Amino acid sequence: STGGEIVRSYLQPLAALAGIAPNLKLGATVTAITREGRDKLADEGRAEAPFVVRYRDSSGEHRVAARAVIDASGTWTRPNPIGVDGLTVPGETEAADRIAYGIPDVAGTERAAYAGKRTLVIGGGHSAINVALALMQLQEEAPKTEIFWALRRAGVERLLGGGLNDKLPERGALGLAARQAMQEGRLNMLAPFSVGRIETTADGLAVEASHGGKPTRLEVDRIVVATGFRPDLSFLDELRIALDPAVEATPALAPLIDPNLHSCGTVPPHGIAELLHPEPGFTIVGSKSYGRAPTFLMATGYEQVRSVVADIAGDHEAARDVRLVLPETGVCNSDPLPQAAASGCCGGPAPAGVDACCIKDADAKAAGESGCGCGSTVVIEPASKSSCCGAAA
The per-residue b/e assignment along 315-337, b for 16 or more CB within 10 angstroms, e otherwise, is: eeebbeebebebbbbbbbbeeeb
pLDDT of residue 260: 84
**Cβ 183 vs Cβ 369: under 8 Å:** no
Contact 247, 257 (CB under 8 A): yes
For residue 295, the model assigns a pLDDT of 83
Query: Which residues of the chain have a pLDDT value below 70?
Result: 1, 155-175, 263-266, 326-393
**Residues paired with 330 in a beta bridge:** none
Summarised one tens digit per residue, pLDDT across range 147-164 is 999 998 876 655 555 444
Spatial neighbors of 163 by CB under 8 A, at least 6 apart, are 172, 175, 176, 179, 330, 356, 357, 359, 362, 378
Angle between helices 359-366 and 169-184 (to 10 degrees): 90
Read off φ and ψ for residue 191, nearest 5 degrees: -155, 135
∠ Cα 120 329 365 (to 5°): 80
At 218-258, the pLDDT tens digits run 999 999 999 999 999 999 999 999 999 999 999 999 999 99
Residues in Cβ contact with 162 at an 8 Å cutoff, skipping those fewer than 6 apart: 172, 175, 328, 329, 330, 331, 355, 356, 357
Residues paired with residue 62 on neighbouring β-strands, in sequence order: 55
Architecture of the domain made up of 3-77+232-320: 3-Layer(bba) Sandwich (3.50)
In the chain, domain spans: 3-77+232-320
pLDDT of residue 181: 72
Residue 385: its pLDDT value, please? 40
Neighbours of 219 (CB within 10 A): 13
- 139, 187 contact by CB (below 8 A): no
8 Å CB contact between 226 and 122:
yes
